[in-house]
């Protein structure tokens, strides 16, 4: 299966993606995770990405399209399929993805669009915590780790501070609409109500994927 998961920052893409890849055994490709790994390893690409990410801006299309193209050409993709998370984020990335998929002989099966009220996103992002060892995402209030957890085992993303969040939301709102229209034109999009409990969102996501399969 070849899927995209779309939604504004904080909509729950990463949270749902973790459940999707576990349930369906497909490969998770998150451009945000790839950039954060490159930033951690202080590669040239990581340093470049950081200069954009810290300001809440998008990394330039040439760079982002390049890493996705390389990743999609890896052997696990043909074997298992993929779930792309956080890409495409500009209409030009959507066109580049069409081109890459056609070169690789792959076809998109569906787009899961998590629809949320933008008002709720600042609260979601400011409470987001990530487990240092596993990378698993939680929320201090909405989805806390089980039991008595040690706060030192978790970190908050630099770009989740309110000043950066505002810019990220503005950028993603303005760029996202044409991408959805592009895929709606191909009848690929399923809209999911994202302002529900995480498990209920996943129930709806699963129903959508089972219809796509
Ligand atoms: P994205 O990948 O779209 O940026 P995440 O999956 O990281 O979003 O979710 C952002 C934050 O909101 C996290 O702290 C997550 O635990 C929390 N969250 C995710 N889905 C929900 C939901 N349905 N209701 C409340 N909080 C949620
Ligand atoms: P995310 O983890 O998806 O919230 O992404 C974190 C940040 O990485 C974004 O705010 C962008 O700066 C950058 N990024 C992730 N995916 C893309 C993309 N497809 N195009 C451009 N920048 C991206």
3-state SS class at 154:
strand
Rounded percentage of the chain residues whose pLDDT exceeds 70: 100
Contact (Cβ atoms closer than 8 angstroms) between residue 137 and residue 128: yes
Q: One of 19, 80, 157, 206 is an active-site residue; which one?
A: 157
Q: How far is the CA of 28 from the centre of ligand 2 (A)?
A: 15
The pTM assigned to this predicted structure is 0.97
Ligand 1 centroid to residue 103 C-alpha, Å: 34
Please say if the pLDDT value at position 44 is more than 90: yes
Q: Whose CA is nearest to atom 18 of ligand 1?
A: 12
Residue 200 lies in a domain: yes
State pLDDT tens for residues 124-175.
Answer: 999 999 999 999 999 999 999 999 999 999 999 999 999 899 999 999 999 9
Residue 123 maps to a domain: no
Domain that holds residue 57: 2-116+166-212
Verify whether ligand 1 is closer than 6 Å to residue 192 (CB atom).
Answer: no
Please measure the distance between the N-terminal and C-terminal CA atoms of the chain and give it in whole angstroms.
Answer: 7
Distance CA 31, CA 46 (A): 12
CATH number of the domain where residue 98 is located: 3.40.50.300
Tens of pLDDT along 94-134? 999 999 999 999 999 999 999 999 999 999 999 999 999 99
Q: Which atom of ligand 2 is nearest to the CA of 172?
A: 10
For residues 111 and 188, the answer to whether their CB atoms sit within 8 Å is yes
What is the reported pLDDT for 104? 97
At 192, is the secondary structure helix, strand, or coil?
strand
Number of domains composing the chain = 1
Contact assessment for residue 64 and residue 100, using Cβ atoms and an 8 Å cutoff: no
**167 in active site:** no
């Amino acid at each position: 299966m070849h899927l995209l998961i779309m939604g504004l920052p904080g909509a729950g893409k990463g949270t749902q993606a973790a459940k999707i890849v576990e349930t369906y055994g497909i490969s998770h490709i998150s451009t945000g995770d790839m950039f954060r790994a490159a930033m951690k390893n202080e590669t040239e690409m990581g340093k470049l990405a950081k200069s954009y990410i810290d300001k809440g801006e998008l990394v330039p299309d040439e760079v982002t399209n390049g890493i996705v193209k390389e990743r999609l050409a890896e052997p696990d993709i043909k074997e298992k399929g993929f779930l792309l998370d956080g890409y495409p984020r500009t209409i030009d990335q959507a066109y580049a993805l069409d081109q890459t998929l056609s070169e690789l002989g792959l076809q998109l099966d569906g787009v899961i669009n998590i629809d949320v009220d933008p008002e709720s996103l600042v609260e979601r992002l400011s409470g987001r915590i990530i487990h240092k060892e596993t990378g698993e995402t939680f929320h201090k209030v909405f989805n806390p780790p089980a039991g008595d957890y040690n706060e030192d085992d978790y970190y908050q993303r630099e770009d989740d501070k309110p000043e950066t969040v505002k810019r990220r939301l503005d950028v993603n709102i303005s760029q996202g609409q044409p991408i959805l229209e592009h895929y709606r034109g191909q009848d690929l999009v399923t809209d999911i109500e994202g302002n529900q409990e995480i498990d209920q969102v996943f129930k709806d996501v699963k129903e959508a994927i089972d219809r796509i399969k």
